[in-house]
Structure 1
Amino acid sequence: MDLQDFDSAHLYFDEPLAPEVAPVWPAAEQYAEGTAEQPLLEAQALAPDDLTVLVGLYRFYYYQHRYEAALQIARRRVEVVGPRLLLPANWSEIDAGHVAVAAERGIGLLRFYLLALKGGYLSLRLGRFEQGKAMLLKVVELDTDNRLGARLLLDVLAEHSAEILIFPTAANAEIRP
């Protein structure tokens, strides 16, 4: 199974946006701007399982260097998509058999799920090395061809484990004009 072979696959953004979100979505789409949080939270309150809304929130928090919040959204993405793919509730229990079934249900959604799990990178950024490493190891185990690039993150972690520095979060980062 090639996780890059999704040309004809159904992707999360192919799903129609929940109609109740439409009034707030134009402002929420500005997730690269600092002003999008409130509309995104309103959209999430209106449609908590909408994948486009969850991606918008994830990107907003990531671009704002709010990694804890981004990691929470990545977890929510896993919670929402996992049942649709018939995956175990606990990501650490997923094996190749589960992935084969999930791929049959939708390779695009499987990629979406695994990329959310690759959010273990955020755990690394937050100094939670064991958690982040475990999440990335699971992605590498399931993505044997390394099509999602998680192996590189583990290689960098292994190569620099003695030199790891904790990156500042948005709350304590120096802001320069």
Structure 2
Amino acid sequence: MQTDTQKFSWFNVSDDVKELLILAAQNWENTEISENYMQQALAKTKDNTDVLVAAYRYFYYKNNYPLALTTAEQLIAIIESVEKFPNNWEELKPILVQRHEETQIRLYLNAYAASGLVLAKLGELEKAKEISTRIKDIDDKNDFGAGILLDILTRPPEEDD
């Protein structure tokens, strides 16, 4: 099957990886085939953040939350390594607050917030609350949706009348 990889000229990966991603999308209805293409793309580009974001979205919308979480965590780990972030949240928080408008930091915050959402979907509510609280403390504009998720996770159950 011939695909037009030039449609995604902004996507910073080789044409063969673009083709795999396009084939994954074109075969969306057949999860086994489309996931095979996505896995091939990931195998060829282990640390490419664009491909990891695409894979996260793919797995999330396919309701494959364990793989969505793994992909988000890989993205987080790559950015932590590149940016040489401290392991301690209290040391990291001021860095994120100061630099939250930078592209790489926004990607980190998006991936971290996404991991909280997926953890909630997987029933890991306390971890999801912790992540959502952390992101909400940085995100005064609610750009990353953590405030909404935190509200849902902490809202008291409605009483039945």
Partners of 2:38 and 2:56 lie apart in 1 by 10
- Return closer, same or farther for 1:75/1:161 CA change in 2, 3 Å cut-off: farther
Deviation of the 1:100 alpha carbon:
2.2
In the other structure, the counterpart of 2:113 is: 118
Percent of aligned pairs sharing the same letter: 28
The one-letter code sitting in structure 1 at the alignment partner of 2:47 is D
- What's the RMSD between the two structures over aligned residues? 2.8
For 1:108, which of 79, 100, 103 is the aligned residue?
A: 103
Q: TM-score, normalised by structure 1?
A: 0.70
SS of aligned partner of 2:23: helix
Structure 2 unaligned segments of length 5 or more: list them: 1-8
Structure 1 unaligned segments of length 5 or more: list them: 1-12, 164-177
SS of aligned partner of 1:49: coil
Say whether the 8 Å CA contact 1:123–1:129 is kept in structure 2: yes
Q: TM-score, normalised by structure 2?
A: 0.76
1:95 aligns with 2:90: no
Partners of 1:111 and 1:31 lie apart in 2 by 30
Length, aligned pairs only: 148
For 1:154, which of 147, 150, 157 is the aligned residue?
A: 150
- Return closer, same or farther for 1:137/1:14 CA change in 2, 3 Å cut-off: farther
In the other structure, the counterpart of 2:76 is: 78
In the other structure, the counterpart of 1:139 is: 135
Q: Which has the higher contact order (CA 8 A, sep 6+)?
A: 1
